[in-house]
């Protein structure tokens, strides 16, 4: 039979045991979560590399777009999960190009309308590839929308205004800036100034004004999260 003294002591001992079991369980859970996060990061990098391996001229494009998109989100004061979501979507945004013939991706001249139509299918293909994966945010949807434009002139769905999520507007600007700043098979690099001019020319029409202003601050007068070469963006460092 319990006396008040031995009941207290027993409860204390049980409490200590429970806390120690919880602590050990918690430590194991944290370690397992960290392992899973590493695995996911590695899988994203592997998918990104796989999709660029057929397209050597744009090697590193997705990594740079990911870092620029994340930098824009941080400059706009968006929260951590949104910044991470943009990084993941940036790393995978052109994965659908795996469905475009090699000869078209690497054609050293301007594309015909028929070839360009094939290239344009990559955002929908990317959506289909990524849709079964249960990311924390709408990665597949952002990938599908990265060529949409605020005024409805983009593709594949011609979304406009509020129909276009903010993350997609950010990724669109990052994609254009990086693409213009680097060489392509059919033209030399146009440079960061030309890229910024293009973005500002579309401010409020094709591109979200808030994203354009963040881009201007980040790459213009602000502190860019990367270095520049004469041809355009140099090696990109970590954002924020």
Q: Of the ranges 30-38, 53-61, 66-74, 89-97, which one interacts with Fe ion (CB under 5 A)?
A: 89-97
For Fe ion, the closer CB: 94 or 178: 94
Q: Which residues contact 107 (CB under 8 A, 6 or more apart)?
A: 115, 185, 186
- Phi/psi of residue 234, each to 5°? -95, -145
For Fe ion, the closer CB: 51 or 75: 51
Compute the least distance from the CB of residue 40 to Fe ion, in Å: 22
For Fe ion, the closer CB: 60 or 217: 60
Compute the least distance from the CB of residue 46 to Fe ion, in Å: 19
Which residue in the set 52, 70, 94, 167 belongs to the binding site for Fe ion (CB under 5 A)? 94
Distances (CA, A) of 221 to 80, 214, 237: 24, 11, 18
Is 52 one of the binding residues for Fe ion (CB under 5 A)? no
Q: Please identify every residue annotated as catalytic.
A: 97
Compute the least distance from the CB of residue 34 to Fe ion, in Å: 32
Q: What is the distance between the alpha carbons of residues 180 and 189, in angstroms, rounded to a whole number?
A: 6
Q: Which residues of this chain interact with Fe ion, rule CB under 5 A?
A: 94
């Amino acid at each position: 039979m319990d006396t008040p003294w031995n009941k207290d002591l027993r409860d204390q001992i049980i409490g200590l045991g429970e806390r120690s079991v919880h602590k050990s369980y918690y430590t194991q859970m944290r370690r397992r979560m960290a392992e899973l996060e590493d695995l996911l990061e590695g899988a994203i990098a592997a998918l990104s590399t796989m999709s660029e391996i057929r397209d050597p001229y744009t090697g590193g494009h997705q990594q740079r777009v990911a870092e620029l998109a994340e930098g824009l989100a941080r400059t706009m004061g968006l929260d951590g999960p949104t910044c991470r979501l943009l990084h993941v979507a940036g790393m995978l945004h052109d994965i659908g190009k795996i469905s475009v013939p090699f000869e078209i991706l690497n054609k050293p001249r301007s594309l015909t309308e028929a070839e360009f139509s094939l290239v344009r299918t990559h955002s929908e293909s990317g959506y289909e590839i990524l849709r079964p994966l249960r990311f924390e945010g709408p990665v597949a949807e952002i990938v599908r929308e990265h060529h949409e434009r605020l005024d409805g002139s983009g593709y594949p769905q011609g979304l406009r205004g509020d129909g276009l999520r903010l993350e997609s507007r950010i990724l669109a600007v990052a994609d254009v800036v990086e693409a213009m700043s680097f060489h392509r098979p059919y033209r030399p690099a146009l440079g960061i100034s030309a890229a910024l001019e293009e973005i500002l020319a579309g401010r409020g029409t094709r591109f979200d004004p808030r994203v354009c202003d963040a881009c201007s601050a980040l790459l213009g007068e602000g502190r860019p999260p990367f270095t520049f070469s004469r041809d355009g963006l140099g090696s990109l460092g970590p954002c924020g």
